[in-house]
Amino acid sequence: MLHYDFEWSVLWRYPYGGMFIQGIWTTVHLSLFSWMIAILLGLTVCLCRMTPLRAARFLGGAYVELFRNIPLLVQLFFWYFAAPSLLPRELELWLYGNVKDLGYLVAVIALGTYTAARVSEAIRSGLLAVPRGQYRAAHSTGLSGGQTYRHVVLPYALRISWPLLTTEFLTCFKNSALAMTIGVLETTGTAAYVDSFTFHGLETTTAASCVYLATSGAVILTMSRIEKRMRIPGLIRRGYN
């Protein structure tokens, strides 16, 4: 039979209960900060790709291909182990000596810049799906380029990008688990940490899984509710010119 004694109390017993709370909270703000970077940087990169400026388009394209085609784990290791040694010696020492949570900082940056490449693509596909006729109609009434974007193109594109952005946010949230590999005690890291003291990995990883499932579920519900509210009867995708 099963040679395993369940002991669910490791999830709330002192001191582990506090660790789990701490870990879940870390997962939440780690993924939210990364997401903020991803949205701002992703939008910037996307706009770069859409400008008539050739150099900007090239840089934007290069960014996307570089960041989304290297495994996130490799990027994390690069930022954590390799990047600091590229800095001047004094700065590197200062970094290790004074930044208490270097792993956390690196995780936010790595996850943010990686997700930005994917967010950029999600926004771009929305913008590209807006028919040319919409621009023409807006311009023909005398609206300026900025007004056309603000009132016609972006609201249209956002509705198309919305499901993709939801997926990207969930991926970002789940990817935050990789931060444990550089010593960040977020949910997954905490589960492994508590297991190393108690040998109750089955309980801790089950708990971690439930945390991810529940949070994802809540996010999906919220986003699809917003999506429904934004949904417009008859918004269809067309490709003529």
Partner 1 sequence: MIQIRQVSLWYRDGRKVVDNVSAEIRRGQTVVICGPSGSGKSSLLRCINGLERFQEGEILVDGISVSSPSTDLHALRAEIGMVFQHFELYPHMTVLDNITLAPRKVRKKTRQEAETKAMELLNRVGIPDKAAVYPGELSGGQQQRVAIARSLAMEPKAMLFDEPTSALDPEMIKEVLDVMVDLARSGMTMVVVSHEMGFAREVADEVIFMDAGRFIEKKATASFFASAENPRTREFLSRILT
Residues in contact with partner 1 by CB under 8 A are 131, 133-134, 136-144, 147, 151-152, 155-156, 159, 230, 232-236, 238, 240
Q: Which is nearer to partner 1, 218 or 226 (CB)?
A: 226
DSSP 19-31: HHHHHHHHHHHHH
List CB contacts of 44: < 8 A, sequence separation 6 or more. Answer: none
Q: Which is nearer to partner 1, 133 or 217 (CB)?
A: 133
Q: Which residue has the tokens 């900007």?
A: 56
Mapped onto helix, strand or coil, the DSSP state of residue 52 is coil
Query: Contact at 8 Å (CB) between 190 and 22?
Result: yes
Output the smallest distance, CB 161 to partner 1, in A: 13
Query: Contact at 8 Å (CB) between 240 and 131?
Result: yes
Q: Which is nearer to partner 1, 69 or 141 (CB)?
A: 141
Nearest to 180 by CA among 19, 12, 9, 10: 19
Output the smallest distance, CB 151 to partner 1, in A: 6
Q: Which is nearer to partner 1, 143 or 164 (CB)?
A: 143
Output the smallest distance, CB 230 to partner 1, in A: 8
Output the smallest distance, CB 235 to partner 1, in A: 4
Hey, how many other C-beta atoms are within 10 angstroms of the C-beta on 196? 9
Q: Which is nearer to partner 1, 57 or 139 (CB)?
A: 139
Spell out a b/e string for 167-185, using b for 16 or more CB atoms within 10 Å of the CB, else e.
ebbbebbebbbbbbebebb
Query: 8: which DSSP letter?
Result: G
Output the smallest distance, CB 238 to partner 1, in A: 7
Q: Which is nearer to partner 1, 137 or 214 (CB)?
A: 137
Output the smallest distance, CB 224 to partner 1, in A: 18
